Structure 1
Amino acid sequence: MPCKVETTPLLGQNFSPPTEKLGTRHVQILLMFLGIAIAYAIRICMSVTIIAMTDPKAPITRFNWDSKTNSLILSSFFWGYIVTQVPSGYIANTRGAHKLLSCGMFLCSLVNSLIPAVAMCYGWPAVICCRAATGLTQACLYPCAQTLLSRWVPPAERARLGSLVMNAGTFGMVLTLPVSGVLCASRLGWPSVFYLISACGVAWSILFFYLGSDMPSEHPTICPNEMRYIDGSLGRLDKASRSEKPRVPWKAILTSFPMWAIVIVHSGSNWGFYVLFTQMPTYMKYVLSFDVQHSGLVSALPYLAMWLIGFPISWLSDFALRKGVSVECVRKLSNTIGLWLPAAGMLVLVFIETTDKTVLVTILVIAVGFNSATTSGYQINHIDLSTAFAGTMISITNSIANVFGIIAPLVCGVIIKDPTIVSQWHTVFYISAAVYFFTNLVFIIFGKAETQSWSEPDILHGLSRDRPGRASRVPTVLDSSSVVVVDHGLK
C-alpha cells in the first residue's frame, strides 16, 4: 500500500496515528492471529479424533484405549509445553521472537503429521511422545506473541489488537471442532485431520518467516509515518535497543506481587479452560448424546461465542481507557467478567433440573463465551507491567499455569469413571467454578496495571544506563535534541 512520507522532523513531534487504515502492524497482527489459530487447531484436534480413534464403529483403524489412557494422551501435550516456556521467553526477548516462532511452528506441524503413522505402528505410548513433542515445539507461541505485541502495538491500541491475537486460539477451535468432526465421519477418517492441520501449519511458518519481523525498524517495507507512530508511542529508539539488550531482572520479576497475581489467575483460568477444552466433545457425546460429527459442531458453539464476544469487550476496554478509566480498573473488571460469569454458568449446569439439550448447550455457550474477557484482563496485563520483559513474564506464568493443563484432564479421568453419569460431571463443574472464583479474587486484590520499577529498561531500551542491567530515570519530556514520549493517558 503506498504511503506518504512525512517530512516533519521526528524531534519534538507528536506521534499521531498514520492516515492509512491498514498498516504493516495490522499485517503482523493478522499473521500472528493465523499462527495462534493453527497452533490451537493442533492442540485441540486430538480431543475430537480420539473419540473416532476409539469408536467401535470407526471405518478405519480403531484403538482399544480406556478413559485413563485417553486422559494421558490429552494431557501429554502439556508435558512438553511447560518445559521450554521459560527458555522460549528468554530467547524471544534477547535473540528475537520472529524466527523462533516460525521455526517452532514448523517443527510442531511436522511432528503432528506423524501421529497417525506412529499410532498405527507403535500404539498409544508413541502418540504420547508425539503430543509431548508438539507441546515442546509450541511452547514459544505466547512468549513470542507477547514480545511481538509489545514491540508492534501502540498503548492506545493494546486491548483491541492484543485481544485479537490472544483470542485467535478460540477462532482456531471454532473451525477445528466441526471440521474435525466432519473429517472423522468421512471416508478420509481421523488421520486426515492431522494431515490437513499440519499442512496449514507448515504453510504459515514459511509465510511468517518471510513476511514477519521482530520490530518496526527491521521491517523492509514499513511506512516511515507508521514506524514513528509505533516507536514514539512506546518511547523507543530501536537502534539503541538493538545495540544493547536490557538484562532480565529475574529476582525482581519473581518477587513481584502483581506478577504472582497473574500467575495465580492464569493458573485458575487454565484449569477451567482446559477442563472444557479437552472434555467438551466427550460431554457432548455421552451426556447430550451427539454423535462424533455433531459433537464437533456443537462443541464449537461455545468457542464461537467466546471469539465473537471478545471483540466488543476489547473495544469497550479501549473506549473506557479513552474516557479516563484507569487501566487497573479495566483489567480487573474484564477479568471478573471472564471468570466469574463462566463460574456462575457452571453452577447453573449443576443446579438446573432439565435434560433439554438446547437449554444445556445455551448455558455452556454463555459460560464459555464470556471467558474471552480475560484477553482484556490478565492476558494483556504482562505488557502493562513491563513491555520490555512481557515475553519473559508470560513464559513464566504460562509455564506454571499450564501445569494445570496436565492436571485438569487427569483429574477429570479420575472423577469421570463413566462419562454417562451426570453427577460425575457435576463434580468437575463444582471444582472448576470454585477455582475460577478464588483465583480471580486474588487478581482483584493484588493485581496492578502500572509499569513496575524493575521495568526501567522498558522506558529506554538501553539508551542510558548508570550501570549494567539498570536504566537511569528520565523525564517524560526530554530536551530539544531528544524524542518526546507522548502520554496516551495510560497509567
Structure 2
Amino acid sequence: MPPIDENKGPVLGARHLQAFLLFLAIAVCYAGRLNVSVSLVAMTDAETTNPDFHEFNWNEKQKSYILSSFYWGYVVTQFPGAYMARNFGVKTCILIATLGSSICNIILPFCVPWGQWQVYCVIRIIQGLFQGLIFPIVHAHLAVWSPVEERTLLGALSHLGIECGTVLAMSLTGLIAASDLGWPGISYVYGGIGIVFCGIWMIFAENNPADARFITSREKKYIVMSQASADGETNETIPIPWKAILTSVPFISLIVTRICHAWGFSIMQAQIPAYLHGVLNMNIKSNALFSTLPYIAMLACSFIFLILAEIVMKKEWASLGVVRKTINTIAMWGPAALLFGIGFLDENQKNLAIILLTFNVGLNGGNTIGSLLNTIDLSSNHAGVLMSILNGVGNCIPIITPLAVGIIVYDETQRSLWQIVFIIAAILYFVGNLQYIILGSTNTQPWNDEDFLLKRNTEQLTSFEKSLMKNSNSNINIERNSETNLKTLVF
C-alpha cells in the first residue's frame, strides 16, 4: 500500500475499495436493466440478429410498456432502501438488490415465450423493485466512508458505474443477440455477471470504517476526524426531520433539476436504438455499435469533468457551489441545444445525427458532479433519505417517457414525430438547470444537525414553558453553587 499522509490519509485505501465496489454494483445493475432497449429490437426483428430464435410480434405501445415497467417497481422501493440501509447495513441490502435483479435476468428467457409481453413486464417490475434499493444505499454508504474533502471524488468514481454499465449494455447486447446465443443469451450473460459480483461483494464490502477488516487505524482516524470536523455530522442513527426536508428550497430545487434531467436522459437511454433503427435505418449490429458511442463519450466526459472539478477545488479557484452549477449547466444546456439540431436530421445526414447524439449523451456525464452528489452536500446524515426521495420522484419520469414517446411516435420512421419528442426534452433541460442556478445550494442545511428536532421543539415552546425551564435551570445552578461553596468551606 502507498505511504500514508497523516493529514490526508492513504493515497489508496479501504475507502477507495468501497467506492470501487459501489462502482461495480451500479455498473452491474445498469447493464442488467438497460440491455432491454437493444434486446427488444432483436426480439421483435429477428432477421437483423439471429433468425433461429423466436420472434415476437409486439406493437410500439406494448414495447413502450416493457420499457416503462421497470420503473413501476423501481420507484416503490426507494424509501425502503434508505430504511434498510439504516437498520440492516449496506452489505446485506446491496447483496439482496443485485442478486434479485440478476435472477430476474436469468429466468426471463424461460418465461417470456409462454407469457409474452405481459410476463416480460412483470419480471421487469420485480427487477425494478430490487434495483430501487441501490441508490439510496449507495449514497448512505458514501456518506459513511467519504472524508469531507473527498466526497466529490469518491462519489463521482462510484457513479461512473452508470456510464460503464450503460456502455456494457449497449455494446455487448447487440453482439450477443447476433451470436449463437441469440436474444436469450443476453439475459444469461448479464445475470451471470451479477451473480459473480455478489460473490466479490460479500468478500470485500464493509458497512462502516469502524467494523472494516481491510483498513488501517490511521485511515480510520482520517475518515472519522474529517467527518467530525463538519458541523452536525454523526454516524449515529438520528430522527428524520421530514417537514424541514420537504420544505427546504435547495432540496426542492434539486428535485426539479433531477426531474428535468431524467426526462431528457431517459429519452436518450431508452429510445436511441429505436430512433437509429426507425429514422436512420440502421440494422441491429451497427445499431448496437452506434448506440454505444454516446455512452463512451459520456464516460470520457465524466472523467474530464471530475479532473477539472478536482483541479479547481484544490487550487481554490471557485467554491463547490460554483463548480457544481457550472458543470451542471454544461451537462444540461449543452444537450438542450443539441436536441434541437438532432430533430431536423434524417437518413441523409446519418453521420451528423450520430455525432450530435454522441455529444448530447456525452455531456450528460457532468450531471453526477453537477447535481446528483448534491444530496451529500445538503445533509450527510440524511444522504440516503434524500436520495430515496430524489430517486423516487425522478424515476417516476422514465415510467412516463416511454409511454409519451409511444403516443407521440406512432410511426418510428417519421422524423417529424421524433422532432417533437426532442424539443420537449430540450425545453425541460433548459428550465431545470435555470432554476437550479438560482435556487440550488451546496451549503449544509440546518436540519442536518442531529439535535435539529430537539432545538425546533424547544423554539416552539410557549413563553410560560420557557419561563419554567429558565427557572428550573436557575434553581439547578443555585444548588450547584451551594454545593461548591460548602465543599470549599469543608476543605
The equivalent of 1:10 in structure 2 is: none
TM-score using structure 1 length: 0.88
The one-letter code sitting in structure 2 at the alignment partner of 1:367 is N
The equivalent of 1:9 in structure 2 is: none
Q: Distance in 2 between matches of 1:109 and 1:26?
A: 25
2:176 to 175, 183, 192: 183
User: 1:334-413 maps to which residues of 2 (within 5 A)?
Assistant: 334-351=327-344, 355-413=348-406
The equivalent of 2:219 in structure 1 is: 226
User: 1:112-127 maps to which residues of 2 (within 5 A)?
Assistant: 112-127=105-120
Structure 1, 128-137 or 311-320: larger mean CA deviation: 311-320
Q: Kindly tell me the number of residue pairs found equivalent between the two proteins.
A: 453
Q: Shift of the alpha carbon at 1:269? A: 0.7
The answer to whether residue 62 in structure 2 is matched with residue 69 in structure 1 is yes
The one-letter code sitting in structure 1 at the alignment partner of 2:308 is L
1:37 to 18, 27, 39: 27
Q: Shift of the alpha carbon at 1:94? A: 4.4
Q: Distance in 2 between matches of 1:345 and 1:200?
A: 35
TM-score using structure 2 length: 0.88
The equivalent of 1:155 in structure 2 is: 148
The equivalent of 1:251 in structure 2 is: 243
Relative distance call for 1:426 and 1:16 in structure 2 (3 A) is same
Relative distance call for 1:230 and 1:67 in structure 2 (3 A) is same
The equivalent of 1:17 in structure 2 is: 8
The equivalent of 1:205 in structure 2 is: 198
Contact 1:267 1:404 in 2 (8 A): yes
Q: Map Cα deviations across residues 348-403 of structure 1 (whole Å, 9 max, x no partner).
A: 21346882322111111111101111111110100000111111101001101111
Q: Shift of the alpha carbon at 1:29? A: 1.1
Runs of 4+ in 1 over 3 A off after TM superposition: 1-4, 351-354, 464-471
Q: Shift of the alpha carbon at 1:43? A: 1.2
1:101 to 81, 94, 106: 94
Which has the larger helix fraction? 2
Relative distance call for 1:310 and 1:55 in structure 2 (3 A) is same
2:103 to 107, 110, 121: 110
Taking only aligned residues, the RMSD between alpha carbons, in angstroms, comes to: 2.3
The answer to whether residue 324 in structure 2 is matched with residue 322 in structure 1 is no
Q: Distance in 2 between matches of 1:151 and 1:470?
A: 28
Structure 1, 151-160 or 346-355: larger mean CA deviation: 346-355
The answer to whether residue 192 in structure 2 is matched with residue 171 in structure 1 is no
The 3-state SS of whatever aligns with 2:373 is helix
The equivalent of 2:299 in structure 1 is: 307
The equivalent of 2:272 in structure 1 is: 280
1:291 to 283, 286, 294: 283
Give the % identical residues: 35
Q: Distance in 2 between matches of 1:269 and 1:123?
A: 32
Contact 1:383 1:390 in 2 (8 A): yes
Q: Distance in 2 between matches of 1:21 and 1:446?
A: 36
Q: Shift of the alpha carbon at 1:210? A: 2.5
Q: Distance in 1 between matches of 2:64 and 2:117?
A: 11
Q: Distance in 2 between matches of 1:294 and 1:218?
A: 49
Q: Distance in 2 between matches of 1:26 and 1:469?
A: 38
- Gaps of at least 5 residues in structure 2 are 459-491
Of structures 1 and 2, the one scoring higher in RCO (CA 8 A, sep 6+) is 1
Q: Shift of the alpha carbon at 1:158? A: 2.0
Q: Shift of the alpha carbon at 1:2? A: 8.4
